[in-house]
Every structure is written in structure tokens, then in C-alpha cells.
């Protein structure tokens, strides 16, 4: 029986090889997974041309996945450094990499990335349109945008952010809301500018069926971009954000009808007390589609530390139902991140995702924590380093100020609580002055 996409196969009762791999990774019955892919509550982004892919599932009952953004800009066009970021991301176990390059002819780097990466690859074709087409924004036609979408799909991109929800109705709501930070989505702002300068409807909304036809041909998952996501906690959950979310819910169903898998993107910046409600609202309005969130960043006053503001929000979002977290680095709002920024962003995002999985009760989520706790009880440093998210950093800290006694650290020394309790339970004496 033939099929074009993972969703079409699932609807026909076929468990693809990608579904079988994901089911094994998630310790899930493959029939349960297949049914969720058929309903759209799980997506397995897997372009037919991405042959190096190690597939992952995103959505209901899955571990929370993380995405790493990278790519060159006009001010920083070092593809060698970007590939180093790719290697680091894969080494830390990131499930997804988005190439957000927006300068020059980006397809050479993107093809190298797709050939190399076992992680799923995402792009935002809108970013690439100016350089790819070599036209000013106002001169780009609707069919030109579709040409870029097809080029990315043909190269092997697994999912694409398409800002199809910022149509005329959503723009009207945005204008009436009088935001403090207006539109902070790069792709969304470019589409808004194009719509205002040309007087036309959003081409991705107007020609949505043609977009879906392209994506279906290559089995590309559509990630419905949140062009009107809040860029400050002041603007969160306003009329513009919700108006677009309503549009995304309708677009989700249209994609599923054509057997195209869907992710829905979400905020952004948001106060702690609004996060859980927003996760529930998205799941309701978008029919349980997997939710992909940037952060949310829970305060606006921490430039240089936004990997922390994002991790706080991301943990709450994941615990409340978000399925996919986009990392944020310390360089957010300030500059293109370097390798160390990327490392900090990945680790903080993995912490948030894992904390969310524990809260959601994902099977096996606590296993590593229990093993770490047991290693701490036994004061087995090598095992602790092997279990840590960033074992290299943990070892570096420990060895920078080594303890006099191997069964302690330099903070507590002989007064280590684990050491003391272990010795007493082993019927040994505890001597703090001069003893061992």
C-alpha cells in the first residue's frame, strides 16, 4: 500500500520504519503511536530526502524535545563556526536544528547540514527569500515565496516554519491592540511589511493549499509560525496573539486533511502565571497538535541571562503540555551566539525539558535522576560525571578545587553528610580532627 507522508501511512494503518524507531525510543506500543500520528497529536518530521535522519516523535506522550537555532547573518557569516555548533548540538543530544541563515546563498550550507545531521532539520523559507531570489521585499511575488518553499523541501528539510496565520484579520487585531513591542517575529515582520507595501493578503495564507501540496510531496511537517507572538510580558495573551492562534487552529485542520503533519508555534515572552493557561488554550484551539514554544521568557530585564529566563518558562510550559522547546542562549537580544553561548543554551533547555518530563510523568523520565542520586549516596564521582547533562563541566568544577578526601568534595570535606551517614550505617566511627 503506497503512502506519501507519515500521517497518510498512519491513517491507512501502516506503521512506518520511522514510527517503529520512535516507538522503541519512547518505550511506546507502535500501534498507540501510529494512532496518534493519524490523529495529528504526534508528528514525526522526516523528509523523504533526509537520509541521515534518526527520527524523533514530537507530541502526546513523548519526551519533550529541544531545538537549537543557528545560521549565519550579514554581520557574522562564518559557516565553519556554525558547523561546529551543529556538532556540539548533536553531541548534547539535541533532537532538532533550525538553520535560520539569512545572508547570501545559504543552500550549500543547508545541504551539508542535511547530509551530516541525524537530528531533524528545520528552516524558515521567508528568511531565505531575499538572498535566494535576489529581489527587494516589495518586488517578490506570491509564486516566488512558493519557489523558496519547494527549494527547501527538495533539499531535505524536515519541517518549515510558515507564518500562514498572520492574515488580514489577525493584522487588524494586532493594530488595535497597541502593543508595546509590536511584531518581534522576523518572518512575521517581513510578511507584515510585504502585506502593507503591496496591499495583498499573506501569500502563505492565500495560497495555503499550494504550500501544503509542496510539503506533502516531500513529507515536510509544517510548523505554523506565531508571527504575532508576544515580544514582552506586557503583550502576552493579547488580542493579536489569540487572533492568530485561532487562525492557526483552522490551518491545522486543513493541513491534516491533506495528510501534512503539523507543529504549532507559541510564545515568546510571558509571565509565569499565564503559561499553563496558554498551553491549555493552544491545545484546545489547535485540536491537540504538538506545541513548539520559544521559552517562554518570564521576565524582560535579564539580557545576558535569557537562557535562564527561558529555562524557567520552558520547564513550566513543558510540565503544562508543551511538546517541543526552542533553546535560548545568553546572547538572545544582544548578538549572534558563539559556541559557548550555544552550549549554555542547549544545557539550560535540556534541563527545562527534562524537568517538564518528570512533572508530566513521562515513563522513565526519573530513571537517570534516581541513578544520579544513588551515585551521590555512594560518592561515586565517575558515575556522577557520566550521568550529568554536562559531565565535562561537572568534572571541571570538581577538579578545579579537589578535596583532600576522595569521598567528599571541597565544600564539606570531612563534614560531608553522605560520608558521615555512610560511615555510621557501616558501623564505622566518624572523626573530624586528625582521623580519616
Are residue 255 and residue 120 in the same domain, yes or no? Answer: yes
pLDDT given at position 290? 98
pLDDT given at position 121? 97
- Tell me the pLDDT tens digit for each residue of 2-21: 889 999 999 999 999 999 99
Flag whether pLDDT at 436 surpasses 60. Answer: no
- Domain span including residue 392: 367-425
To which residue does cell 548540538 refer?
89
Q: pTM of this prediction?
A: 0.94
Closest by CA position to 409, among listed 399, 396, 420, 422: 399
pLDDT given at position 212? 98
* % of the chain at pLDDT higher than 90: 85
Report whether the peptide linkage leading into residue 121 is cis, meaning its omega lies within 30 degrees of zero.
no
Q: Does residue 435 belong to any structural domain of this protein?
A: no
Q: Does residue 273 belong to any structural domain of this protein?
A: yes
Are residue 322 and residue 231 in the same domain, yes or no? Answer: yes
Domain end marker among 318, 336, 360: 360
Are residue 356 and residue 416 in the same domain, yes or no? Answer: no
Provide the pLDDT confidence category of residue 175 given band limits of 50, 70 and 90: very high
Flag whether pLDDT at 232 surpasses 60. Answer: yes
Are residue 288 and residue 419 in the same domain, yes or no? Answer: no
Flag whether pLDDT at 292 surpasses 90. Answer: yes
Q: Does residue 61 belong to any structural domain of this protein?
A: yes
Of the listed ranges 27-41, 95-109, 143-157, 280-294, the least confidently predicted one is 95-109
At 132, which CATH number? 3.20.20.540
Flag whether pLDDT at 409 surpasses 90. Answer: no
The answer to whether the annotation marks 349 as part of a ligand binding site is no
Provide the pLDDT confidence category of residue 431 given band limits of 50, 70 and 90: confident
3-state DSSP of the chain: CCCCCHHHHHHCCCCCHHHHHHHHHCCCCHHHHHHHHHHCCEECCCCCCCCCCCCCCEECCCCCEEEEEECCCCCCCCHHHHHHHHHHHHHCCCCEEEECCCCCCCHHHHHHHHHHCCCEEEECHHHHHHHHHCCCHHHCCHHHHHHHHHHHHHHCCCEEEECCCCCHHHHHHHHHHCCCCCCCCHHHHHHHHHHHHHCCCCHHHHCHHHHHHHHHHHCCEEEECCCCCCCCHHHCCCHHHHHHHHHHHHHHHHHHHCCCCEEEEECCECCHHHHHHHHHHHHHHCCCCCEEEECCECCCCCCCCHHHHHHHHHHHHHHCCCCEEECCCCCCCCCCCCHHHHHHHHHHHHHHHHHHHHHHCCCCCCHHHHHHHHHHHHCCHHHHHHHCCCHHHHHHHHHHCCCCCCCCCCCCHHHCHHHHHHHHHCCCCCCCCCCC
The answer to whether the annotation marks 234 as part of a ligand binding site is no
Alpha-carbon Rg for the chain in angstroms: 23
Q: Does residue 101 belong to any structural domain of this protein?
A: yes
Q: CA-to-CA distance for 269 and 314, rounded, in angstroms?
A: 11
pLDDT given at position 307? 98
Q: CA-to-CA distance for 375 and 74, rounded, in angstroms?
A: 48
pLDDT given at position 162? 98
- Tell me the pLDDT tens digit for each residue of 237-280: 999 999 999 999 999 999 999 999 999 999 999 999 999 999 99
Provide the pLDDT confidence category of residue 284 given band limits of 50, 70 and 90: very high
The answer to whether the annotation marks 271 as part of a ligand binding site is no
CB 57 within 8 Å of CB 6? no
Are residue 356 and residue 377 in the same domain, yes or no? Answer: no
Provide the pLDDT confidence category of residue 434 given band limits of 50, 70 and 90: low
Are residue 390 and residue 353 in the same domain, yes or no? Answer: no
Count of the separate structural domains present in the chain: 2
Q: CA-to-CA distance for 72 and 362, rounded, in angstroms?
A: 36
Q: Does residue 420 belong to any structural domain of this protein?
A: yes
The answer to whether the annotation marks 163 as part of a ligand binding site is yes
The answer to whether the annotation marks 103 as part of a ligand binding site is no
pLDDT given at position 2? 87
- Tell me the pLDDT tens digit for each residue of 156-171: 999 999 999 999 999 9
Domain end marker among 305, 337, 360: 360
Are residue 200 and residue 346 in the same domain, yes or no? Answer: yes
Are residue 264 and residue 355 in the same domain, yes or no? Answer: yes
The answer to whether the annotation marks 409 as part of a ligand binding site is yes
Say what angle helices 339-360 and 79-91 make with each other, to 10 degrees. 30
- Residue 322 burial by CB count (10 A; 0-12/13-18/19+): exposed, middle or buried? buried
Are residue 243 and residue 219 in the same domain, yes or no? Answer: yes
| Stretch 183-197: mean pLDDT | 96
Say what angle helices 208-218 and 142-155 make with each other, to 10 degrees. 10
The answer to whether the annotation marks 226 as part of a ligand binding site is yes
Q: CA-to-CA distance for 375 and 385, rounded, in angstroms?
A: 10
Tell me the pLDDT of the chain averaged across its residues: 94
pLDDT given at position 104? 64
The answer to whether the annotation marks 229 as part of a ligand binding site is yes
To which residue does cell 512533572 refer?
359
Cα 271 to chain centroid, rounded: 20
Q: CA-to-CA distance for 123 and 101, rounded, in angstroms?
A: 9
The answer to whether the annotation marks 71 as part of a ligand binding site is no
Of the listed ranges 12-16, 36-40, 91-95, 127-131, the least confidently predicted one is 127-131
Are residue 380 and residue 356 in the same domain, yes or no? Answer: no
Report whether the peptide linkage leading into residue 268 is cis, meaning its omega lies within 30 degrees of zero.
yes
Provide the pLDDT confidence category of residue 99 given band limits of 50, 70 and 90: very high
- Tell me the pLDDT tens digit for each residue of 347-388: 999 999 999 999 999 999 999 999 999 999 999 999 999 999
HSE-CB at 298 with a 13 A cutoff on CA atoms is 16
Q: CA-to-CA distance for 270 and 108, rounded, in angstroms?
A: 37
pLDDT given at position 71? 83
Q: Does residue 23 belong to any structural domain of this protein?
A: yes
Are residue 308 and residue 392 in the same domain, yes or no? Answer: no
The answer to whether the annotation marks 228 as part of a ligand binding site is yes
The answer to whether the annotation marks 269 as part of a ligand binding site is yes
pLDDT given at position 5? 98
Flag whether pLDDT at 435 surpasses 80. Answer: no
pLDDT given at position 134? 83
The answer to whether the annotation marks 186 as part of a ligand binding site is yes
| CA angle, residues 50, 55, 227, in degrees to nearest 5 | 80
pLDDT given at position 315? 98
The answer to whether the annotation marks 286 as part of a ligand binding site is no
The answer to whether the annotation marks 292 as part of a ligand binding site is yes
Are residue 38 and residue 66 in the same domain, yes or no? Answer: yes
CB 330 within 8 Å of CB 307? yes
The answer to whether the annotation marks 187 as part of a ligand binding site is yes
Q: For residue 7, what is its C-alpha cell?
A: 500521517
Q: Does residue 198 belong to any structural domain of this protein?
A: yes
The answer to whether the annotation marks 416 as part of a ligand binding site is yes
Domain end marker among 311, 336, 360: 360
Flag whether pLDDT at 39 surpasses 70. Answer: yes
Q: Does residue 294 belong to any structural domain of this protein?
A: yes
Handedness of CA 381, 382, 383, 389 (dihedral sign): positive
Flag whether pLDDT at 72 surpasses 80. Answer: no
Amino acid at each position: 500500500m503506497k503512502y506519501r507522508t507519515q500521517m497518510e501511512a498512519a491513517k491507512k494503518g501502516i506503521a512506518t520504519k520511522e514510527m517503529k524507531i520512535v516507538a522503541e525510543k519512547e518505550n511506546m506500543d507502535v500501534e498507540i503511536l501510529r494512532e496518534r500520528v493519524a490523529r495529528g497529536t504526534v508528528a514525526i518530521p522526516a523528509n523523504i530526502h533526509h537520509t541521515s535522519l534518526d527520527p524523533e516523535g514530537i507530541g502526546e506522550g513523548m519526551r519533550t524535545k529541544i531545538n537549537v537555532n543557528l545560521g549565519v547573518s550579514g554581520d557574522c557569516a562564518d559557516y565553519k563556526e556554525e558547523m561546529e555548533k551543529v556538532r556540539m548540538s548533536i553531541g548534547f543530544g539535541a533532537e532538532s536544528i533550525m538553520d535560520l541563515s539569512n545572508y547570501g546563498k545559504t543552500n550549500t550550507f543547508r545541504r551539508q547540514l542535511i547530509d551530516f545531521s541525524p537530528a531533524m532539520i528545520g528552516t524558515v523559507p521567508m528568511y531565505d527569500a531575499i538572498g535566494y531570489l535576489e529581489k527587494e521585499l516589495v518586488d517578490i511575488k506570491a509564486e516566488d515565496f512558493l519557489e523558496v518553499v519547494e527549494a527547501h523541501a527538495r533539499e531535505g528539510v524536515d519541517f518549515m516554519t510558515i507564518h500562514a496565520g498572520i492574515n488580514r484579520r489577525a493584522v487588524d487585531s494586532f493594530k488595535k491592540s497597541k502593543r508595546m513591542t509590536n511584531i518581534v517575529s522576523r518572518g512575521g515582520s517581513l510578511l507584515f511589511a510585504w502585506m502593507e507595501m503591496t496591499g495583498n493578503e499573506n501569500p502563505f495564507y492565500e495560497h495555503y493549499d499550494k504550500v501544503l501540496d509542496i510539503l506533502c510531496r516531500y513529507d515536510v511537517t509544517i510548523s505554523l509560525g506565531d508571527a504575532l507572538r508576544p515580544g514582552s510580558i506586557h503583550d502576552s495573551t493579547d488580542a493579536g496573539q489569540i487572533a492568530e492562534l485561532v487562525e492557526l487552529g483552522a490551518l491545522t485542520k486543513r493541513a491534516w486533511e491533506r495528510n501534512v503533519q503539523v507543529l504549532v508555534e507559541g510564545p515568546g515572552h510571558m509571565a509565569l502565571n499565564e503559561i499553563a493557561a496558554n498551553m491549555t488554550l493552544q491545545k484546545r484551539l489547535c485540536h491537540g497538535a504538538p506545541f513548539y514554544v520559544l521559552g517562554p521568557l518570564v521576565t524582560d530585564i535579564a539580557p545576558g541571562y535569557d537562557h535562564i529566563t527561558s529555562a524557567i518558562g520552558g520547564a513550566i510550559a513543558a510540565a503544562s503540555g508543551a511538546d517541543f522547546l526552542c533553546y535560548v542562549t545568553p546572547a538572545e537580544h544582544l548578538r549572534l551566539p558563539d559556541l559557548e553561548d550555544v552550549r549554555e543554551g542547549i544545557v539550560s533547555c535540556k534541563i527545562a525539558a527534562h524537568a517538564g518530563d518528570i512533572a508530566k510523568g513521562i515513563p522513565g523520565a526519573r530513571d537517570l535522576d534516581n541513578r544520579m542520586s544513588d551515585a551521590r549516596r555512594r560518592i561515586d564521582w565517575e558515575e556522577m560525571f557520566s550521568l550529568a547533562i554536562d559531565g565535562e563541566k561537572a568534572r571541571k568544577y570538581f577538579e578545579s578545587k579537589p578535596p583532600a578526601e576522595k569521598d567528599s568534595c571541597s565544600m564539606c570535606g570531612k563534614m560531608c553528610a553522605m560520608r558521615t551517614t555512610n560511615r555510621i550505617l557501616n558501623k564505622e566511627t566518624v572523626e573530624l580532627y586528625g582521623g580519616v
